[in-house]
Amino acid sequence: MSGRLVLGGAPLGQPGDVGPRLRAVMATADVLAVEDTRRLHRLAADLEVTFTGRVVTFHESVEQARLPGLLDALASGATVLLLTDAGMPSVSDPGYTLVRAAIEAGVDVTSVPGPSAVTTALAVSGLPVDRFCFEGFLPRRSGERRSTFTALADERRTMVFFESPHRLADALTDAAAVLGPDRQAAVCRELTKTYEEIRRGGLAELAAWAAEGVKGEITLVVAGAPERVVELTAAEIAAAVFAEEAAGETRKDAIRAVVTRTGLPKRTVFDAVVAAKSP
């Protein structure tokens, strides 16, 4: 019989944020695959948990090498607990490759839900959270970062990024240059920890603050793009549709393209085309 892979949500800072289920799985798991063994021992001490399972490291540089052994353990019926340093495994942390391999091998994959820097930062940011996207770590180089922000310039959802403290000021400067200095954002530093700090404001204002130096783990939340207000006459709308048709699009696809580009209601675009075709 195959075993079970359990993804454990580790605390972001406060050990008390995890519940009794994680304690129980830590104590009973046959194998504990962890990003950092020192953090495992510290967490076990904080939670007053004694684990008897075999401990193996599972971080980016050994992830591929560890897969065969962990899959063998799962195939033999073992319960494998995967723990990263903080938050949920595989969310910009090691784990995705093991999850995919376990699923493909027919192994049961489950989780002990726990803290997440992404949703925690969203909740305290003060920005809209009804729709959001997570973009992971920003590129290290300024040119690549600006390209990333350019691609996201029209994203309407609130965006969440991870960033290192020593690159934060430059990242905020690039964001302000592309998205605008007044685009609202929140820098969430050391979430749930002793020196937690949430700094809110425009991108340029936050960049100036970060230039003085920032320490700790950073989650950056940036407001989505404001709704575009496009002012076009009916004749201009129809002309845009006809231009799409002249380029080879069908009438239906041409209308869809103009709706997407302008943000105008489909009925408005359709009526403009009908009016332009009427004698």
The superfamily in CATH containing domain 4-115 is: Tetrapyrrole methylase, N-terminal domain (3.40.1010.10)
Tokens for 187? 């820098």
- In angstroms, the CA 197 to CA 212 distance is 15
**Residue 263 pLDDT grade (very low, low, confident, very high; cuts 50, 70, 90):** confident
Is pLDDT larger for residue 2 or for residue 223? 223
Q: Looking at the predicted structure, is the pLDDT value of residue 277 above 90?
A: no
Q: Model confidence at 119, in pLDDT bands (50, 70, 90)? A: very high
Whole-number pLDDT of residue 74 = 97
Torsion of CA 243, 245, 248, 254, to 10 degrees: 100
CATH of domain 118-222: 3.30.950.10
Question: For residue 162, what are the contacts with CB-CB under 8 A and spacing of at least 6?
Answer: 92, 117, 136, 137, 138, 218, 219, 220
> CA distances (Å), 137 to each of 84, 132, 144, 167, 220, in order?
16, 16, 12, 11, 10
The string of DSSP codes covering 240-252 is: HHHHHHHTT--HH
Of the candidates 161, 163, 207, the residue with the CA atom closest to the CA atom of residue 183: 207
Q: Model's pTM, two decimal places? A: 0.78
Report pLDDT for 154.
Answer: 85
Q: Which of 121-135, 153-167, 247-261 has the lowest mean pLDDT?
A: 247-261
Please write the tens of the pLDDT for every residue from 64-116.
999 999 999 999 999 999 999 999 999 888 899 999 999 999 999 999 998 99
84: which 2 tokens?
A: 């990263």
pLDDT > 90 in the chain, percent: 85
Each domain of the chain, given as residue ranges in start order, spans 4-115, 118-222, 234-277
Order of all β-strands in the sheet with 54-57: 54-57, 31-34, 79-83, 4-8, 108-112
- Residue showing tokens 């350019």: 150
pLDDT of residue 264: 82
Predicted pLDDT at 36:
94
pLDDT classification of 229: cutoffs 50, 70, 90: low
Task: In whole angstroms, give the CA distance from residue 23 to residue 28.
Answer: 9
Phi, psi for residue 7 in degrees, rounded to 5: -95, 120
Residue 149: band (very low, low, confident or very high) from pLDDT cuts 50, 70, 90: very high
What pLDDT score does 145 carry? Answer: 96
Edge-to-edge, what's the strand order for the sheet holding 132-137?
132-137, 158-163, 218-222, 184-189, 197-202
